[in-house]
Structures are given as structure tokens and as C-alpha cells.
Amino acid sequence: MEVIGRGAICPLPGSPLVIGVGASRGVSVGEVLGLVEATLAEAGLSPHGVAELATVEAKTGEPGLLTAAERLGVPLCGYPAEALAAVEVPNPSAAPLTAVGTAGVAEAAALLAAGPGGELLVAKRKSTPHGRPGRATCAVARRPAAVKSGQSGQRRPAVDRLDAGQ
């Protein structure tokens, strides 16, 4: 995984949301932010709950994605196409398979970034800028809830041993 940049505004501690983003070369920051903001608003989710934008490594240099992450105050994290291809997605597509080697970027990146137990909250959505063909997709996933202190067996084994006096 490659992490690019970090914005000036940090997300809330323990922010549970990750946004997977797929994009065509040259996508504008306005198109990416418009899609992300509309998707979050329609789902009733706060942009303050976003921890990162995730995409395929091949797109981490896209100025539109980099600037969108910066404006959201989150890192842009890139994942290898092979790792994304291993994630089962509900809406596979031939376009990213041809372009970057995986049948899904937005959903796969969101789920991979959410980690084991992550949940896809919003399936892939495509931007529709002023009636033109869209150049960006996004999906939203939630990381699993944090384990509360005292839940033995759900923490690292070393912590459980310490609590047991071992």
C-alpha cells in the first residue's frame, strides 16, 4: 500500500469511513469532490467521519484525487491492482479491468481499506457532471467498530494475558 500526502484538517479520531475512488486520467478535483460529497450526503454520512480515500496504486498520482484528499483532510492510499482484484465486488466492470487490471476500483478499494469485517455502506456510484460521461466512481465502506476495553478474546492475545496476570 502506498500512502500519499495528508491534508491540513485531520478527520475525527477513530473515523470509521473509507471512500474508494476510481478515476479516469485527468479527472478534475471538482468532479471527485462533487461525487464524494453528494454520495455522503445522500447516505446521511458526515464528511468528518472519513478517514481516507483509497484507490488503485496506478492512480495515486492523479492531481484530481490528490487535491480531493487534501481538501478532505485525509490521506490518499493506493492499493496494488492484484490486491483489489482479489476482493469480491457487487458491481464489477470491464473498464477498470482493461485500464488497471481489476474489475473494480471504488468498491474493492473501499472494502480493502476498511479491513477485515468492513462493510460496504454505499455501492459504486458514478459521477454525472453536467450530463457528460462521468470520469469518477466512488463507494463507501465502514471499518468494524472498535473493541471496547474489557472484551477478552477480542483483543490481542498479549493484552488478554496481561489482564489475566500471566
Judged by DSSP in three states, 153 sits in: coil
Please write the tens of the pLDDT for every residue from 90-128: 999 998 988 888 999 999 999 999 999 999 999 999 999
Check pLDDT > 90 for residue 162: no
> How many whole angstroms separate alpha carbon 32 and alpha carbon 30?
6
Check pLDDT > 60 for residue 165: no
Rg of the chain over CA atoms, in angstroms? 17
**pLDDT (mean) for 132-154:** 75
CATH number at residue 69: 3.30.420.180
**pLDDT (mean) for 37-52:** 96
Give how far Cα 141 sits from Cα of 31, 132, 153, 157, 160, Å. 20, 27, 25, 27, 29
Q: What average pLDDT is seen over the chain?
A: 85
More confident residue, 159 or 137: 137
Q: How many domains does the chain have?
A: 1
3-state secondary structure 57-98: HHHCCCHHHHHHHHHHCCCEEEECHHHHHCCCCCCCCHHHHH
Instruction: Give pLDDT, residue 47.
Output: 93
Judged by DSSP in three states, 139 sits in: strand
Alpha helices in the chain (DSSP H): 29-43, 63-72, 81-85, 94-100, 106-114, 157-163
Give the residue numbers spanning the domain of 78: 2-163
Residue 13 pLDDT class (50, 70, 90 cuts): low
Grid coordinates belonging to 36: 464524494
The residue behind cell 476495553 is 149
